[in-house]
Chain A
Amino acid sequence: MKKEDLYESFQSIDDDMLERSEQAFRRNAPKPWKKMIAIAASLCILAAGALGVMRLSGSPFDGTETENESSAAAEPDHKDEQGVWIPQIQLPESTDDDMSTDMLSLVVYQGRIYTQTERFRAKKKAIPEDIIGEYIGEAVGSLDEWSSQDEYATELASVCEGSVYTVNGYDREYRLCIVTHDQNENGAEDACIHFLENLNGITLEKGKDLYGERLHVKEYFESAQYQLHEDWDWGKEKYHDISPDVDMAAFLDDLWEAPFTDEPMDYNNTPRTHLYLRMKDGTTVELDLYADGRVRYQHMGGTVAVQMEGEGFRDVFEACTRE
Chain B
Amino acid sequence: MEDKQIIELYWQRDESAIRETDIRYGAYCYAIANNILHSREDSEECVNDTWMQTWNTIPPKRPERLQLFLARITHNLSFNKYKAMAAKKRGSGEIALVLDELEECIAAASDTESAFLAAELGQEISSFVRSLPEREGNLFIRRYFFTEPITVIAKHYALTENTVCVSLSRTRKKLRTHLEKEGYFI
What is the interface of chain A, defined by CB distance below 8 A to chain B? Answer: 1-15, 17-22, 24-25, 28-30, 97-99, 185, 233-236, 267-269
Give the dominant DSSP class at A's interface.
helix
A17 engages B137 (CB within 8 Å): yes
Taking A14-B126, A235-B155 as contacts, is the C-beta distance between A6 and B137 under 8 angstroms? no
**Which of B26, B44, B111, B142 interacts with A25 by CB under 8 Å?**
B142
* CA A22 to CA B28, docked complex, whole Å: 11
- Interface SS of B by simple majority: helix
Q: Nearest Cβ in chain A — how far from B141, in angstroms?
A: 4
Q: List 17 A-B contacts (CB under 8 A).
A: A2-B111, A3-B106, A4-B99, A6-B121, A8-B79, A9-B124, A10-B144, A12-B122, A13-B129, A14-B126, A17-B141, A21-B137, A99-B24, A99-B67, A235-B151, A235-B152, A268-B44
Which residues of chain A have C-beta atoms less than 8 A from B149's C-beta? 234-235
Task: Indicate which residue in A4, A9, A18, A20 contacts B125 across the interface (CB closer than 8 Å).
Answer: A9
Name B81-121 residues within 8 Å CB distance of A: 83, 98-100, 102-103, 105-106, 110-111, 114, 116, 118-119, 121
Interface residues of B (CB under 8 A from A): 2-3, 24, 26-27, 30, 34, 40, 44, 47, 64-65, 67-68, 71-72, 75-76, 79, 83, 98-100, 102-103, 105-106, 110-111, 114, 116, 118-119, 121-126, 129-130, 134-135, 137-138, 141-142, 144-146, 149, 151-152, 155-158, 160, 184-185
**CB of B26 to closest CB in A, whole Å:** 6
The total of interchain contacts (Cβ-Cβ below 8 angstroms) comes to 124
Q: Report the separation of the CA atoms of residues A185 and B161 in the bound assembly, to the nearest whole angstrom.
A: 11
Name the distance in Å between B102's Cβ and chain A's nearest Cβ.
Answer: 5
Q: How far is the CB of A175 from chain B (nearest CB, A)?
A: 24
B44 partner residues in chain A, CB cutoff 8 A? 268-269
A7–B67 CB distance below 8 A = no
CB pair A97 B156 closer than 8 Å = no
Asked whether A5 lies within 8 Å of B79 as measured between CB atoms, the reply is: no
From A19, A97, A236, name the one whose CB has the most chain B CB atoms within 10 angstroms: A97
Q: How far is A19 from B156 in the complex, measured between Cα atoms in Å?
A: 15
**Complex: how many Å from CA A5 to CA B65?**
25
B26/A21 in contact, CB under 8 A: no
Contacts of A13 in B (CB 8 A): 125-126, 129, 141, 145
A200 to B141, CA, bound (A): 35
Contact: B83 with A6, CB < 8 Å? no
Would B185 and A1 count as touching, CB distance under 8 A?
yes
Contact A97 B65 (CB under 8 A): yes
Is the beta-carbon distance between A29 and B156 smaller than 8 angstroms? yes
- Asked if A233 meets B34 with Cβ closer than 8 Å, knowing A4-B99, A10-B144, A25-B138, the reply is yes
Whether A3 pairs with B79 at a CB distance below 8 angstroms is no
List chain B residues, Cβ under 8 A from A22. 67-68
In the complex, are the beta carbons of B26 and A1 less than 8 A apart? no
| Cβ-defined contact, A7 with B79, below 8 A | yes
Q: Are A7 and B156 in contact (CB under 8 A)?
A: no
Instruction: Given A1-B111, A25-B156, verify A12-B123 contact (CB < 8 Å).
Output: yes
Q: Known contacts A1-B111, A6-B105, A7-B79: does B27 contact A17 (CB below 8 Å)? A: no
Q: How far is the CA of A1 from the CA of B68 in the complex (A)?
A: 27
